[in-house]
Amino acid sequence: MSRIGLPVLETPRLIIREIEESDVYDMFEYASLPNVGPVAGWEPHKSLSYTKSIIKMFRNKYQYGQLGVFAIVLKESDKMIGTIELHTYVKNHKAELGYTISPYFWGNGYAYEAAKAVISWGFNELELKRIECTAFVNNNQSNRVCEKLGLDFECVRKKGYMLYDGSIHDISCYAITDDEYFKSIRS
């Protein structure tokens, strides 16, 4: 698959653009915290070089038929405060929404605002039929974002996720179809 590049999406407070190598310091600032990665399913970053390798991997996802990863950037300060993506992408069919926001910016609606823009892009531009999102059952913030976005709770996948440390966790599964999405924006 050739590199297509991600579009730049804008919301009232955010610029959502492809992650760049220059985002390494902002990303490390939150990705190294012990309360961020584990609730999203990944190990906290231990060094800037590790964060650089993650960004490189994100930028090379297209080589594996994936779309890539967006950086979530505050318009007012040009600070990168998180990432968002549609991963596990199947062209013209479905993808899974994933996002992380720096805890320094939790509670401001940024995950919702960014996810709303990315979901719109997924249905309107990529012509997806379904967008899914999973979160650990005890990750109340992410589960609430899914509900606010209009994703339907479908199930709990018991023992559905193994963390980097080998621990196994239940995950909540949410989804929205193209029909449901377009009906909701017309209402």
1 has pLDDT over 70: no
Which whole number is the average pLDDT over 157-168?
91
81 has pLDDT over 70: yes
Q: What confidence category does residue 62 fall into, taking pLDDT thresholds of 50, 70 and 90?
A: confident
Q: Which two tokens stand for residue 83?
A: 């990432």
Q: What is the pLDDT of residue 46?
A: 95
183 has pLDDT over 60: yes
Are 8 and 64 a contacting pair, CB within 8 Å?
A: no
Q: Which residues contact 26 (CB under 8 A, 6 or more apart)?
A: 79, 80, 81, 102
The DSSP 8-state label assigned to residue 64 in this structure reads: G
Which whole number is the average pLDDT over 156-172?
92
Q: Which residues contact 121 (CB under 8 A, 6 or more apart)?
A: 7, 9
Q: What confidence category does residue 102 fall into, taking pLDDT thresholds of 50, 70 and 90?
A: very high
Residue 166 backbone class (left: φ over 0; alpha: ψ -120 to 50; beta: rest): left
75 has pLDDT over 60: yes
What's the CATH superfamily of 9-186? Gcn5-related N-acetyltransferase (GNAT) (3.40.630.30)
Are 5 and 20 a contacting pair, CB within 8 Å?
A: no
Q: What is the pLDDT of residues 134-150, one digit of tens each?
A: 999 999 999 999 999 99
Domain residue ranges of the chain, discontinuous segments joined by +: 9-186
4 has pLDDT over 70: no
Are 14 and 74 a contacting pair, CB within 8 Å?
A: yes
Q: How do the residues of the chain divide into helix, strand and coil, expressed in percent and rounded to 5?
A: 35, 30, 35
Q: What is the pLDDT of residues 24-54, one digit of tens each?
A: 999 999 999 999 988 888 899 999 999 999 9
Q: What is the pLDDT of residue 128?
A: 97
Select the more confidently predicted residue: 5 or 122. 122
Q: What is the pLDDT of residue 40?
A: 84
